[in-house]
Amino acid sequence: MIRVYLDTEYCYPGMLAGTPRPTAADMRQIVQIAAIIFDTDTGEEVAHFDQLVVPTYQKELPEFFTELTGITQADVDKSGVAFQNALTDFVRFCGDTPIWTFDKDEEVLRQNCDYIDVSWPFTQPFTRVKALLPNWNIDPEKYSSGTLYKAAEIELTGHVHNALHDVRSMAQAINVFEKQA
């Protein structure tokens, strides 16, 4: 079976270390969209998508965002594209393949579509991994997409909160959990 695993990194006004996690009431602006196409039969990544995005409203990335993700303002200035362009490319990448996210990435994508008055372009379902973790006796509050590989007791290098690392963590961990079930 083929799946797309998706993760986004986003900033929002008032983003500071130690503040509560943002909610739908916050203006969450996508800065990175990353995904992999994953073959669950072989346990292999087939392709990847990794795009930096210029935030719709926020002109300068918060310092805490850079500390958390390792993505700098210079990175976005050099390689970032408008959300509409990133979304178009991402939709093409996914095709009609089911999309799995850790938690609220679908909500954040919808919010960003609303910012630029773009209709929701996806027809396939989104599956929230966090809601499935109790099925494998994994505490969903103990892990993020980027640390889920630890619950599967596998090795993975990369930067947690870089969306491409995080989707690889999620895909590899879910692959282990499903094979153990």
Residue 136 maps to a domain: no
Residue 83 maps to a domain: yes
Residue 86 maps to a domain: yes
Label residue 64 exposed, middle or buried (CB < 10 Å: 0-12, 13-18, 19+).
middle
pLDDT tens, position by position, 134-181: 999 999 999 999 999 999 999 999 999 999 999 999 999 999 999 998
Residue 45, strand partner residues: 38
Residue 159 maps to a domain: no
Residue 138 maps to a domain: no
pLDDT tens, position by position, 100-144: 999 999 999 999 999 999 999 999 999 999 999 999 999 999 999
Range of the domain at 84: 2-127
Residue 172 maps to a domain: no
pTM: 0.96
Residue 67 maps to a domain: yes
Q: Is the dihedral of CA 138, 96, 116, 54 positive or negative?
A: positive
Residue 101 maps to a domain: yes
Domain count for the chain: 1
Cα–Cα distance measured from residue 85 to residue 141, given in angstroms and rounded to the nearest whole number = 33
Q: What CATH number is attached to the domain comprising 73?
A: 3.30.420.10
Q: Look over the chain and give the mean of its residue pLDDT values, rounded to a whole number.
A: 96
pLDDT tens, position by position, 74-106: 999 999 999 999 999 999 999 999 999 999 999
